[in-house]
Amino acid sequence: MITLRGERGVVLLVALIMLLLVTIMGVVAASQVQNNLKVVYNAEARSAARNAALTAIQEAIATPGFLEGEQAFSFGCNGSSYTRCLDLTGDGVENDIVIELSRPACISASPLRNSQLNALTDPEDASCFTPGLYSLCAEALWEVTALARDTATGAKVRVRQGLQTRTTVNLLASACSG
């Protein structure tokens, strides 16, 4: 009888140890799942912020007067025409992602040579053509930076975009004065 009691105690002890190990494995697995969900959520928030920044840059490029430094958005937010707020949750309040655009900075400008133009088939090129080495037109290279912040997650993304525009030589100094 003494042996049976000892065996029953060993079985109980082994069962408790096995239960403890299974519980620890479950807790570790649940913790890993939670961490993986956080990583995915952060990656999605960064992706949404990046897409919002790129969309804001495209919207600003289409806004008249953007390269002249007048305004980036027809409808800005937070009292600035260079700030755009978006509603991603559908609650009707545009505060989920805030994008701040820099004013366009002229990186370089150079006059176009007549040999670079296709004056016979392109009306825009034809209007630039003038006798001599250089035409009446020039190419200007601009840089714009957008900083997008997701207010819910705190994710931040900075996007730099280059733009090339054609201007006249007469406007070259004012187009690239800064």
Q: What is the pLDDT of residues 57-103, one digit of tens each?
A: 998 888 887 877 778 888 878 788 889 888 887 888 778 899 999 98
Residue 173 clears pLDDT 90, i.e. is over it: no
Taking the C-alpha atoms of residue 174 and residue 78, their distance in angstroms, rounded to an integer, is 29
**Looking at the 3D structure of the chain, how many domains does it have?**
1
Residues 6+ apart with CB under 8 A from 40: none
Place of tokens 């034809």: 126
Q: Computed from CA positions of residues 149, 150, 152, 154, in that sequence, does the dihedral angle turn out positive or negative?
A: negative
Distance of CA 5 to the CA centre of its chain: 70
Reported pTM: 0.71
Taking the C-alpha atoms of residue 123 and residue 59, their distance in angstroms, rounded to an integer, is 27
Q: What is the pLDDT of residues 7-60, one digit of tens each?
A: 667 888 889 999 999 999 999 999 999 999 999 988 998 999 999 999 999 988
Range of the structural domain that residue 140 is part of: 2-175
Contact 127, 117 (CB under 8 A): no
